[in-house]
Chains A and B, each alone.
Chain A
Amino acid sequence: MAIKAKNLSFSYRKKKVLENLNFEIKDGEFIAILGPNGAGKTTLLKCILGLLKVEGEILVFGKDPSTCKKILEMISYVPQKSTLSTDLPITVIDVLRMNSKELNEEIIEDFELCDKMKTLFRELSGGFQQRVLIARALMKNPKMILLDEPFNGVDVLSQEKITKILEKVNATVLAVVHNINPIIHAVDRVMLLNRELIAFGKPNDVFTKENLFKAYKAEIPVVICEEGIIHPLYGDQHG
């Protein structure tokens, strides 16, 4: 079992950010986490990393991440780009080496970064910046990857590239996204969150009008694609 949460809650300044979450995630699953702003998505990732003092219980690979820091060696975290100091003069190769001294050439090729190794990170497009961050996460060969809004400011081509690589990765993947559509065909399950767990399951079971209304407090239109998968529309505006 990759993650097991039992009655998991987290409060910030006496305000409940996460309330009574119960879920299990198996090894190797690809999970998308959706919900409106302030739903507690990033907070949940931080609980998994053991960075927050939680109520209830969360186990990652069978251990409490807040006390067993060894767990962090198995997890890679890709934060929101807005939290980075992009004006720091730092090259792509420096960023890739942050998680692992040894560089995996295959990952560099997969992300088409070979000719950009000496480029400054701040000079890359949003799509390539995100590729570098995810490549950095993969360098330490993690058992779990947590991504916080990996598609923000990323063009369709890079979204597709990133999704294909994440699909192939031999690790449990949790991606917080506002717009599920770029990865809906790749994910195993979707977690719909708004402080409490609204729904957790296969995309078609989660994206019902009732669940979406419960999460976003608004009518979210949905379409069904040729493969029969329900796509919620305007998820990015509501999220």
Chain B
Amino acid sequence: MDSIFFSITLISVIASVSGSLSVFRRASFLVATVAHSALAGVALSLLLSSYGLELDYFVFATLFAILFSAISTLFSKFYNIDTGISISFALSMALAVIFLSISRNVSTKIWAFLFGELYLITEKDIFYLVMTTVIVLLLFGFFYEKILFFLFDPEGAEASGINVKLLDTILVLIIALSVVTVIRSVGAVLAYAIFVAPSAVGKTFARNFKQSILYSSTITFFCLLAGFLISFSIPVSASAISAFIASILYLFAMIRKS
């Protein structure tokens, strides 16, 4: 039980920082793309393992997440960011389905990555969570002022000498690593709700950027904990309940705001 609370705390930190970055970067859909491209990576690792080649899912998921983040950025240049991310999303899902179609006996394993299960978290997953939390917080803390400038005023930041391409790459890496680490617990399909909805609520009521992340983190923690506890009473996935609560909270927050 302690490890679950510990994991929920770390997920709340990671998801709130990365979710806020994606929301303020006006690319919240990137979270969904990264989650599904990570799923394609997981599908490839399952495909290989079904043929006897056992490899760590995390490595494949991370590589695919980074690759498809780059593809999203590349596609965005052709038309616009929404179209670029959407096509990248479709491509990653297509690959995931292809890998799964030619794999053998992996349906139950992929289910855990699609919808996530908090109580299936292993020690290795917790290690990845700790490692990602440290990396995300270090990068975010180190580049905080530049990130704030870039998110508020990308042109002004570039004109003041900040290497915005490098900074944007760091942001995408933070988002990609966070999503990959979290999908084991909350699932690729539901990661979007856990990352984006609390961040959107936090943004609406906060008086500064740090406060926005703090609010988002608290909401995420509450949603995940509630989902986990409720799942003991009713036989429904904890991450589904968490995502449901997060979405409803967002709805209430927007009604209250308006």
Contact = CB atoms under 8 A, between A and B. Distances in A.
Interface of A: 49, 51, 69, 72-73, 75-79, 83-85, 87-91, 94-95, 98-99, 120-121, 146
B156 A89 contact: no
B156 A94 contact: no
4 smallest beta-carbon distances between A and B, as pairs: A77-B159, A72-B161, A79-B155, A89-B206
B153 interface: yes
B161 A88 contact: no
B152 A90 contact: yes
Given A89-B212, A95-B152, A51 B159 contact: yes
B184 interface: no
Contacts of B152: 84-85, 88, 90, 95, 98, 121
Contacts of B145: 98
B160 A85 contact: no
A142 B76 CA distance: 35
Contacts of B158: 49, 51
Contacts of A99: 160
A89 B200 CA distance: 11
A116 to B, nearest CB: 14
Given A89-B207, A94-B208, A84 B161 contact: no
27 contacts: A49-B159, A72-B159, A72-B160, A75-B159, A77-B155, A77-B159, A79-B159, A83-B154, A84-B152, A84-B153, A85-B26, A85-B151, A87-B24, A88-B24, A88-B148, A89-B206, A89-B207, A89-B211, A90-B208, A90-B209, A91-B207, A94-B148, A95-B152, A98-B145, A98-B156, A99-B160, A146-B159
Contacts of A95: 152
Contacts, number: 67
Interface residues of B, number: 23
Interface string B1-44: 00000000000000000000000101000000000000000000
Given A88-B24, A94-B148, A94-B208, A69 B161 contact: yes
Interface string B142-166: 0001001101111111111100000
Given A72-B161, A73-B161, A85-B26, A90 B156 contact: no
Interface in B34-65: none
Given A79-B159, A85-B152, A90-B148, 15 more contacts: A72-B160, A75-B159, A77-B159, A77-B160, A79-B155, A83-B155, A85-B24, A85-B153, A88-B24, A88-B151, A89-B212, A91-B207, A98-B149, A98-B156, A146-B159
Nearest to A83: B155
Contact of A98 (B153, B208, B212): B153
A89 B211 CA distance: 9
Nearest to A137: B156
B171 to A, nearest CB: 13
Contacts of B148: 88, 90, 94, 98
Contacts of A121: 152
B45 to A, nearest CB: 37
B25 to A, nearest CB: 8
Contacts of B209: 88-90, 94
A121 B208 CA distance: 10
Q: Which of B145, B158, B160, B203 has the largest count of A CB atoms less than 10 A from its CB?
A: B160
A166 to B, nearest CB: 17
A137 B209 CA distance: 21
Contacts of B157: 98
Contacts of A72: 159-161
A146 B160 CA distance: 12
Nearest to B26: A85
A47 to B, nearest CB: 12
A83 to B, nearest CB: 5
Contacts of A78: 156
A98 B209 CA distance: 14
